[in-house]
């Protein structure tokens, strides 16, 4: 929206009066051009809520962007936030006016502890959150006065909305991201595994290049499950052996030998012997002769690096990453 607004703002002002500002009528034209539908009466009412000094001078580009942000929010986007805000903290404050802010104590008790069921959070943690939130630049050209003092004691509804959308309110506990060596003894099937889709592709799925280097790139970024879409290729004229290939089937993507990828992974394991298990997600489209060659290449290239389950282990749990 802001890029389109910049173009239309320039067309609306610089060409006509060189003032670098727009009035309500010019703003209405911009809204029409960017498909932001609003009744003229509603826009006029919102415009006249601006400070008189701003109305007389007109809106600069930055003020126009901020004003559009407020219009968008005040029309529909923050209605759910309004409901959450009033349900949690009450519609009216102790002095009888509509609630404009909430204290750190109320935020901790009514929201974090009661509603979110958070643990190990104290009042000082909330004050740090408030101080951070109140440093954010929230659009306020058409809003009530910002909190100028006690930034660690209160937040308003706009900053509460910012908190709801922030990483600090993530449903995932960041403590769970801390690596614990003692937790790596469960069955491999009990873990979320960093995985890659169409690992071999350097670009799109229709006409891009396939590259062995993409496997090294994925592995060094922490991926431990890579995908290989394997198809029947040519037959080696000298040895008479089938050559399984990897590419995105029935497209114009280039093709690479299956064995080259296995060689690359072997090199990675040689330089990173402490790596956790690497999983091949094989999308196997090969006929039996080509599948036999795939199996032979896995065995001969990877050797002891390849996990081969015994008859007894096939019926039990998968080994742990530590094994």
Q: Crossing angle for the helix pair 2-13 and 24-33, nearest 10 degrees? A: 130
> What residues contact 291, with CB distance under 8 A and at least 6 apart?
244, 284
Question: Over 80: is that where the pLDDT of 274 sits?
Answer: yes
Q: Is the pLDDT of residue 1 over 60?
A: no
Please determine, for residue 57, whether its predicted confidence score (pLDDT) is greater than 70. Answer: yes
DSSP string, 191-219: S---B-SSTTBSS-TTT--B-THHHHHHH
pLDDT digits (tens, 9 = 90+) for 78-128: 467 888 899 999 989 888 898 989 999 999 999 999 999 988 899 999 999
Cβ atoms of 258 and 294 within 8 Å: the answer is yes
- Extract the tokens encoding 263: 């060689």
DSSP string, 111-177: IIIIIS---S--HHHHHHHHHHHTTS----TTSSPP--S-TTTEEEHHHHHHHHTSGGG-SS-GGGG
Q: Can you tell me the distance from the alpha carbon of 317 to that of 221, in angstroms, rounded to the nearest whole number?
A: 28
Pick the more confident residue, 161 or 123.
123
**Could you read off the pLDDT of 124-143 as tens digits, one per residue?**
999 999 998 888 766 554 44
Report the distance separating Cα 321 and Cα 123, nearest Å.
Answer: 40
Asked whether 98 and 92 are in contact (CB, 8 A), the reply is yes
Residue 269's pLDDT band, with cuts at 50, 70 and 90, is very high
d(CA 103, CA 241): 75
The mean per-residue pLDDT over the stretch 295-310 comes to 94
Question: Which domains are delineated in the chain?
Answer: 2-76 (1.10.238), 79-169 (1.10.238), 189-315 (3.20.20.190)
Local confidence band at 284 (pLDDT 50, 70, 90 cut-offs): very high
Tell whether the model's pLDDT for residue 66 goes beyond 70.
Answer: yes
Is the separation of the CB atoms in 67 and 142 below 8 Å?
yes
Given a contact cutoff of 8 angstroms between Cβ atoms, the answer to whether 284 and 291 are in contact is: yes
Which letter does DSSP use for residue 74 in this model?
I
Point out the residues that are catalytic.
197, 248
């Amino acid at each position: 929206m802001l890029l389109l607004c910049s173009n239309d703002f320039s067309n609306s002002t610089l060409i006509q009066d060189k003032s670098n500002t727009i009035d309500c009528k010019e703003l209405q034209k911009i809204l029409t051009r960017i498909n932001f539908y609003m009744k003229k009466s509603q826009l006029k009412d919102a415009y006249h809520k601006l400070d008189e000094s701003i109305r007389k001078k007109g809106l600069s580009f930055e003020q126009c962007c901020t004003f559009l942000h407020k219009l968008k929010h005040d029309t529909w986007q923050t209605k759910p936030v309004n409901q959450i805000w009033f349900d949690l903290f009450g519609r009216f404050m102790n002095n009888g006016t509509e609630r404009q802010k909430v204290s750190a104590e109320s935020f901790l008790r009514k929201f974090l502890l009661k509603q979110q069921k958070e643990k190990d959070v104290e009042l000082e943690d909330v004050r740090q959150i408030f101080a951070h939130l109140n440093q954010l630049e929230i659009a306020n050209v058409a809003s009530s006065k910002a909190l100028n003092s006690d930034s660690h004691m209160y937040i308003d509804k706009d900053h509460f909305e910012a908190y709801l959308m922030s990483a600090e309110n993530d449903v995932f506990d960041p403590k769970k991201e801390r690596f614990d060596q003692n937790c790596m003894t469960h069955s491999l099937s009990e873990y979320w595994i960093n995985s890659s889709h169409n690992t071999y592709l350097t670009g799109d799925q229709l006409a891009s290049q396939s590259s062995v280097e993409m496997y090294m790139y994925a592995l060094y970024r922490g991926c431990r499950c890579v995908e290989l879409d394997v198809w029947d290729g040519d037959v080696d004229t000298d040895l008479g052996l089938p050559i399984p290939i990897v590419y995105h089937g029935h497209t114009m993507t280039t093709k690479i030998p299956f064995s080259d990828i296995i060689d690359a992974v072997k090199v990675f394991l040689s330089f990173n012997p402490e790596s956790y298990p690497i999983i091949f997600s094989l999308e196997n489209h090969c006929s039996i002769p080509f599948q036999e060659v795939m199996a032979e290449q896995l065995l001969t290239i990877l050797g002891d690096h390849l996990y081969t389950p015994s008859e007894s282990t096939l019926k039990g749990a998968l080994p742990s990453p530590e094994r």
